[in-house]
Amino acid sequence: MANLLEIVTIGNPVLKNTSEEVVDFNSVKELCEDMIESLPSNGVGLAAPQVGQNLKIFVAKLNDVKRVFINPKILEKSDEFIDGYEGCLSIPGYLGKVKRHNWVKLGYYTLEKEYKEEVFENFQARIMQHEYDHLDGIVYLEKVSPINSLSTEESFVKYIKKSQPKT
Ligand SMILES: [Zn+2]
């Protein structure tokens, strides 16, 4: 049975490190299952550093299906950017505007060590870029622009939009 992992918060050095590529896929099977289990109902993405592991793994909930992405690489990206609000499970209580590519083409491995390439658009592309950044030790807060778009969850709900899933 999968375990619920503790999600670390900003300030923890593990969120600032560059993560290592996965070599032994069998050794991360349990971690991946635990990460899927640990993605909260208000979350759409969770990267391994957020559960204290500097490994190139993230899970994302896409069309209500939780999927695992191992050793992901952004292979291509749109020239166009789109503005949108983001929150992060490791920075609880805040949201801010971040510019992201409209679409990205991601190369990645599944837990079964199958290599895939897939294009993600709009909000799904945003999730991919947010999680990918975690593997490089970057949190969305570093990319919030304009900086005064930063909002507490309370103000966000009150003045901007009813809800926003967390990554
Ligand atoms: Zn995050």
Q: Could you tell me the distance, in angstroms and rounded to a whole number, from the CA of residue 133 to the centre of ligand 1?
A: 8
Q: Which of 6, 37, 131, 154 is catalytic?
A: 131
Considering the domain boundaries, does residue 148 fall inside one?
Answer: yes
Number of domains in the chain: 1
Domain that holds residue 83: 13-160
Q: Is residue 70 part of a domain?
A: yes
Assess if residue 90 is contained within a domain: yes
pLDDT in tens, the chain (167 residues): 789 999 999 999 999 999 999 999 999 999 999 999 999 988 999 999 999 999 999 999 999 999 999 999 999 999 999 999 999 999 999 999 999 999 999 999 999 999 999 999 999 999 999 999 999 999 999 999 999 999 999 999 998 886 667 77
| 152 token code pair | 């507490």
Q: How far is the CA of 69 from the centre of ligand 1 (A)?
A: 15
Q: Is residue 8 part of a domain?
A: no
88 appears as a binding residue in the annotation: yes
- Quote the CA–CA distance of 74 and 152 in Å, as a whole number: 30
Q: Is 134 annotated as contributing to ligand binding?
A: yes
96 found inside a domain: yes
Our answer to whether residue 117 is catalytic in this structure is no
Other C-beta atoms within 10 Å of 106: how many? 23
CATH number at residue 108: 3.90.45.10
